[in-house]
Structure 1
């Protein structure tokens, strides 16, 4: 799975996208109903990415700040300009980006248009553990050299 092109992983999956003026409460409801932990914030006409909103953004940007989720637009709490990846890259590259950047989701974008979203949960348990072990070994070798 690690060397599969990302396109093969996201091609038959629905990706939830929302406009930046949607209320955080409505976004949270969409996340609950769809059993997801992140949505992509897009310009719905052009399907271009504006940002990503994760459960963490909602907790820190609204709940912990004491803001009203009904009146706050997702555009004000989303992560702007997130790291993206091409659908032609191998899944291992996406895992590397997530590991290095310490985030759990990466939008998949092609020619400026949103194609899908990957999550660290997309990794098969064994492959993920094997990949993480490989990253640790590489860091240890780099430190020695």
Structure 2
């Protein structure tokens, strides 16, 4: 599984992508509606940053900022580490572990977002492998 290319892991997974001038409230509402824990923020279509639940908590709520008046561009994480879709999933996991973050934007060669990889994706792959292993064991039990 760690050698699986990232583009296969994120295939058909929705992600939130917003312009830099959108309000924090609008971004967090989109995140809630789409059940996403982060949003990729763009300027002229190119990734400029990432806004996560942690950013909302620590940079907006804890700072006492008005979510309606604060632009997401003022409180996002600038220039996050990114990865291309052809890299192995294990490489992204290593990046997340070393960097202490839970999300890695997936971008094309021009820096445009094509997806978002999260630590949750690793759990989904583990659950898939676990399910396959359970089925295999049940088949062996039936044979024996």
TM-score by length of structure 2 reads 0.82
Write out the 4+ residue segments of structure 1 that deviate beyond 3 Å after TM superposition.
124-128
Tell whether 2:15 aligns with 1:4.
Answer: no
- Residues 126 and 52 (structure 1 numbering): CA distance in 2 closer, same or farther, change over 3 Å? closer
Check whether the contact 1:41–1:49 (CA below 8 A) recurs between aligned residues.
Answer: yes
Is 1:105 matched up with 2:103? Answer: yes
Q: Distance in 2 between matches of 1:113 and 1:35?
A: 22
State the number of aligned residues: 126
Q: Give structure 2 stretches of 5+ with no counterpart.
A: 128-144
Distance 1:88 1:108 in 2: 10
1:40 aligns with 2:19: no
Q: Which residues of 2 match residues 53-72 of structure 1 at below 5 A?
A: 53-72=51-70
Which residue number in structure 1 is paired with residue 31 of structure 2? 31
Paired residue for 1:118? 117
Unpaired stretches in structure 1, ≥5 consecutive residues:
129-145
Q: CA deviation at 1:114?
A: 1.1
Deviation of 1:127 (Å): 4.5
In angstroms, what is the RMSD of aligned CA positions? 1.6
Check the 8 A contact 2:15/2:36 in 1, yes or no: no
TM-score (norm 1): 0.82
The answer as to whether partners of 2:47 and 2:113 remain within 8 angstroms in 1 is yes
How far is 1:11 from its partner? 2.6
SS at the partner of 1:72?
A: coil
2:142 maps to none
Larger Rg: 2
